[in-house]
Amino acid sequence: MGRRRIFAKFRGLVLCDRPFFLQKPQHAFEGSKEKVMKTNKTRFFTSESVTEGHPDKMCDQISDAILDAILQQDPNARVACETVVCTGTVFVMGQITTTAIVDYATIVRDTVRNTGYTRAKYGFDADSCGVIISLDKQSPDIALGVDKSDEYRDRGEILDMYGAGDQGMMFGYACDETPEYMPMAITLAQKISLRLAQVRKEGIVDYLRPDGKCQVTVEYDGDTPVRVDTIVLSAQHSPNVDSETIAKDMINLVIRKVVPLNLLDEKTKYYINPTGRFELGGPAADSGLTGRKIIVDTYGGYCAHGGGAFSGKDPTKVDRSAAYMARYICKNVVAAGLAKKIQIQVSYAIGRSKPVSVDVNTYGTGVLSDAALSEIIADEFDLRPRAIINLFGLQRPIYLATASYGHFGREGFPWEKLDRVDDLKKYIAQEQ
């Protein structure tokens, strides 16, 4: 049976158990099968996600596993760890200054093993792959400004101690489209990718291998998501399974287990392994690199993104810590009802603790003006690196968990807490 026939056959398939709905459904969709009345302001937006067996994500996990191992012993370490994987080889490089004693090769092999690459027939083997380590210390010029910022040398205030580890701009975002306060497309793509890995790990089917990726296109009526238009799912598999079986299983056991059924209709298109086969995957099919999935890591391209990646960096690198803070602010602002969606940009100069600039954009959805919200954010939140580190407890081994399925929109991370909502709601009362 050709691929086109497979796609057509399963486009309207509805056989499934009760789906795993978005937790606490209270936003655009609540699991109801009622149709939303549409206007003529239709648009489509697409986001993607990948599994932990994707070569780029393997690198993110290795870099963050090394960071966690170092912080476990030395919370004040300076880490900028990059990883490359290709056929049969893992390269670890970067700048690390630490008192910790770490077996880098063992961490690499354990991490690769946990992603599922345990046999040569999968294209990569944790026990037989080569591991090459090339590490140096952090530049003393950078360390000078990180350890003691310009402001700390002037005033001696403890929260001014850490200067930003580099210049750059970071973005945060939140919206009320989903209970996670994330854009719909990236939320669904992450859930599908996570479910794909779950189906493999739990042995629900026996032919899946670690590599995989998903792409979700959401149809919007103005700013309101109304349906899922297209789902592309590529799942690495063994040679002894036919395309029809894969298509049926991926739709029933993966997609329809996590996507609310009211978002799917007879016009939703499913493309399962659209090239026809996906036997060769992981580092054997494509090299991987730390930080090459920054859009997957954040908001799926729905808003702006700064110039830096996250994984392998200690929290003095504002690429990471300030992006977490910006997300925290945005999520609490939306949850407090001050805006339906908000983007924050924050920028830093290397060696200085206070941001160079803070920009707020509510896309016209704010209860207050963007200028007023900027003042509120400045009053309520401390954006100095040392203050951010203290607030979230970032000098501890929490980073490996962030390296797959997104840094935002998942419970358990301190920057996802909604503990400033009441503090922000008072500004609505004052306006009234």
Domain range annotation of the chain? 3-28+40-50+184-282, 55-139, 168-176+302-431
Percent of the chain with pLDDT over 90: 77
- Tens-digit pLDDT profile for residues 73-83: 999 999 999 99
Cite the beta strand spans of 109-223 per DSSP E. 118-119, 124-125, 130-136, 168-175, 208-221
Closest CA to 114 of 403, 398, 394: 403
Q: Collapsing DSSP states into helix, strand and coil, what is residue 393?
A: coil
How far is residue 351's CA from residue 142's CA, in Å, rounded to a whole number?
8
| Number of residues assigned to the chain | 432
For the beta sheet containing 288-289, the strands, ordered from the edge strand earlier in sequence to the opposite edge, are 130-136, 89-97, 78-86, 288-289
Q: In this model, does residue 4 exceed pLDDT 60?
A: no
- Tens-digit pLDDT profile for residues 125-150: 999 999 999 998 876 656 655 666 55
- Cβ atoms of 330 and 183 closer than 8 Å: no
Both tokens of residue 301?
């391209």
Both tokens of residue 177?
């489209």
- The residues pairing with 147 across neighbouring beta strands, listed in sequence order, are none
- Cβ atoms of 209 and 53 closer than 8 Å: yes
Mean pLDDT of the 18-25 span:
33
Both tokens of residue 358?
């803070």
For 244, other C-beta atoms within 10 Å of its C-beta total 15
How far is residue 266's CA from residue 268's CA, in Å, rounded to a whole number?
6
CATH topology assigned to domain 3-28+40-50+184-282: GMP Synthetase; Chain A, domain 3 (3.30.300)
Q: Collapsing DSSP states into helix, strand and coil, what is residue 178?
A: coil
Confidence band for 166, pLDDT divided at 50, 70 and 90: confident
Residues 272-294 as b/e (b if ≥16 CB within 10 A, e otherwise) read bbeeeebeebbbbeebbbbbbbb
CATH entry 3.10.129.10 includes domain 55-139: no
Which range among 54-58, 157-161, 266-270 shows the weakest confidence by mean pLDDT?
Answer: 157-161
Per CATH, the number for 168-176+302-431 is 3.30.300.10
Q: Supply the pLDDT for residue 380.
A: 95
